[in-house]
Structure 1
Amino acid sequence: MTQAHTGSSPAPAPLAASAVPAAASVRRRHPWLAPLVPVSPRTRWLLGLSFFVLFFAIWALATLGGFVPRTFLADPLAMAHEGWLLFTQYGFLGDIGMTVWRVLGGFALAAVLAVPLGILMGAYKAAEAFFEPFVSFCRYLPASAFIPLLILWAGIGETQKLLVIFIGSFFQIVLMVAVAVGGARRDLVEAAYTLGANSRGIVRRVLIPGAAPEIAEILRLVLGWAWTYVIVAELIGSSSGIGHMITDSQALLNTGQIIFGIIVIGCIGLVSDLFFKQANQRLFPWSAIQ
């Protein structure tokens, strides 16, 4: 009985041993098929660029091939021509500048006020209990629903547009920052108390530095949402901006200008997103966020 037991137990070992080299071989030969295996920066750029090439190729095939009427969707060549006219004849560069200023102004105002409140809620549970229900309630209110009231209160000028972006960004930042700060490692907090830190020192030297990379990532994400709010704000009662141009183009059924305006927004957002990523990596090199 003893010999039979010892002879049968090692049976699964060859299977487990062979699985490890096989998995390693798959990762070496086909790294894109293995979960969570990073790719090189060059491969990342090539893959990202290839999607844009494929997207424009399908778009050109659908429009230039006559599968989609140009009244409903302009082809890439017509879109590029309309974009050239926007810059050379219609002062579109000024519209871009106004939209960028509105996004940055409203977003900066929201961040300056929301980040400290989020840190307060994440660090102190009493503050979280006091503010969290109201902030959660407001987070579900669409910013566009406030536009009629904001026009009554602030008119159709720049203040109204900044407030739309502020409302759309503020409550999201508050809750996300509170969650980031509240998720601090308890062992670090206990170690700081053991070393003689007080409550204020815990917040300043443990909670904020630990959550800073994630807070920066939160701001990067919410900045993308701010672009959707500014276009909504510019669709009503605006005489400048990318949203105003899109509204005028829609009245003229000029889909080329509409698509060009959308692409410009995407390009500006992509550049700002890359800038945020690079800045976060330089400011917080200890962070694992990429």
Structure 2
Amino acid sequence: MSTVTSEAPARPGWTALPRRRAARPVPALLRPRTPLPRRTRWLLATASIVAPVAAWWAVAASGGVEPAQYLPTPLDTWDALMAMGRSGQLGTDVWATMSRVLAGFGAAIAVSVPLGMLMGTFRSAQSLFEPLIGLLRYLPASAFIPLLLIWLGLGEEPKMTLIFIATVFFNTLMTADVVRQVPLPLIDVSYTLGARVGEVVRKVIIPHSLPGIIDAIRVNAAAAVSYVVVAELVAAETGLGYRIIRFQRFAQVDQIFAVLVVIALIGVTIDITLRITRDVVGRWT
């Protein structure tokens, strides 16, 4: 690229623009929002997993942590995971944890999505609900654990309620933000063509917002998985969080790592499932 030269001033008294050097070529990796080849994306994704695992293995094998059993190698973790799977214990705990997530987070979705759509669609609903929800979202969900144990006992109800409290407020506000991003000209054109309020909501606002709503659910699913483990740490007889506490009592660190791997895999599975769902229902995006 040739050097940009300054031109003569357009009017008397105006100074010429300064000379600028020619721009240097920038790799696609460093250019904002530039599409990458499929091979490059796969290499980067693989490196994001392989590099941390390799670092973990190197630190564990180097003996930098004493005693050595406090930081098991990935191979030790894999062996512990296989032993848990063969015993049947892992399947029981995974089902107990997932059933709590499905119940608590499912209830949060059932409440937050319609409420968020109301708040994003109608200014009256936003003025009515947003102040209270904006206040409640700053209360840490874990602070409700003592109250939930007093009110609901030691059964399944406090665990599912904790997940509900931890996710419902954020998912409501995120859903409302997505709905507010529907272009106003699109709504105005619908009214101009004779659509009524219900038709605008059903045929314009909901279809346009649905992919973003699924993305909001995908983000808050991570909080649901995190808080179910917190709930199981406090009062449970099954579940992955309960199993972590059991292993901690006997310093079975390799099995704790194995449970953490399982929790991560559950989270990735939920994330991928919701991504696929978003892409299917929102192909037009």
Counterpart residue number, 1:80: 78
Tell me the amino acid that sits aligned with residue 38 of structure 2. Answer: P
Per the TM alignment, residue 124 of structure 1 is displaced from its structure 2 partner at its CA by 1.0
TM-score by length of 1: 0.87
The percentage of aligned residue pairs carrying the same residue is 36
Tell me the amino acid that sits aligned with residue 249 of structure 2. Answer: A
List structure 1 segments (4+ residues) > 3 angstroms apart after TM superposition. 6-9
Give the alignment partner of residue 53 of structure 1, picking from 47, 50, 55.
Answer: 50
Which residues in structure 2 correspond to 1:273-288 (within 5 Å)? 273-287=271-285
**Paired residues of 2:116 and 2:176 also in contact (CA < 8 A):** yes
Give the alignment partner of residue 140 of structure 1, picking from 121, 129, 138.
Answer: 138
- Paired with 1:142 and 1:158, the residues of 2 have a C-alpha distance of 20
- Paired with 1:105 and 1:276, the residues of 2 have a C-alpha distance of 17
Per the TM alignment, residue 251 of structure 1 is displaced from its structure 2 partner at its CA by 1.2
Counterpart residue number, 2:12: none
Tell me the amino acid that sits aligned with residue 193 of structure 2. Answer: L
Per the TM alignment, residue 214 of structure 1 is displaced from its structure 2 partner at its CA by 0.6
- Paired with 1:116 and 1:202, the residues of 2 have a C-alpha distance of 16
Tell me, yes or no, if structure 1 residue 113 matches structure 2 residue 76. Answer: no
- Paired with 2:224 and 2:58, the residues of 1 have a C-alpha distance of 33
CA root-mean-square deviation: 2.2
Per the TM alignment, residue 75 of structure 1 is displaced from its structure 2 partner at its CA by 2.0
Q: Which has the higher helix share?
A: 1
Counterpart residue number, 2:65: 68
Q: Which moved more, 1:67-76 or 1:256-265?
A: 67-76
Change (3 A) 1:258 1:194: same
Tell me the amino acid that sits aligned with residue 52 of structure 2. Answer: F
Per the TM alignment, residue 48 of structure 1 is displaced from its structure 2 partner at its CA by 1.5
Deviations 1:147-184 (A, max 9, x none): 11111222111111111111111111111111111222
Tell me the amino acid that sits aligned with residue 46 of structure 2. Answer: L
Tell me the amino acid that sits aligned with residue 61 of structure 1. Answer: A
Give the alignment partner of residue 31 of structure 1, picking from 15, 28, 50.
Answer: 28
Which residues in structure 2 correspond to 1:48-197 (within 5 Å)? 48-69=45-66, 70-89=68-87, 91-197=89-195
Tell me, yes or no, if structure 1 residue 223 matches structure 2 residue 221. Answer: yes
Indicate the SS of the match to 1:216. helix
Indicate the SS of the match to 2:59. helix
Counterpart residue number, 1:213: 211
Q: Which moved more, 1:34-43 or 1:206-215?
A: 34-43
Per the TM alignment, residue 189 of structure 1 is displaced from its structure 2 partner at its CA by 1.3
Indicate the SS of the match to 1:39. coil
- Paired with 2:38 and 2:248, the residues of 1 have a C-alpha distance of 40
- Paired with 1:72 and 1:47, the residues of 2 have a C-alpha distance of 30
TM-score by length of 2: 0.89
Counterpart residue number, 1:3: none
Ranges in structure 2 where 5+ consecutive residues have no aligned partner: 1-5, 10-15
Tell me the amino acid that sits aligned with residue 89 of structure 1. Answer: S
- Paired with 1:71 and 1:89, the residues of 2 have a C-alpha distance of 22
Ranges in structure 1 where 5+ consecutive residues have no aligned partner: 1-5
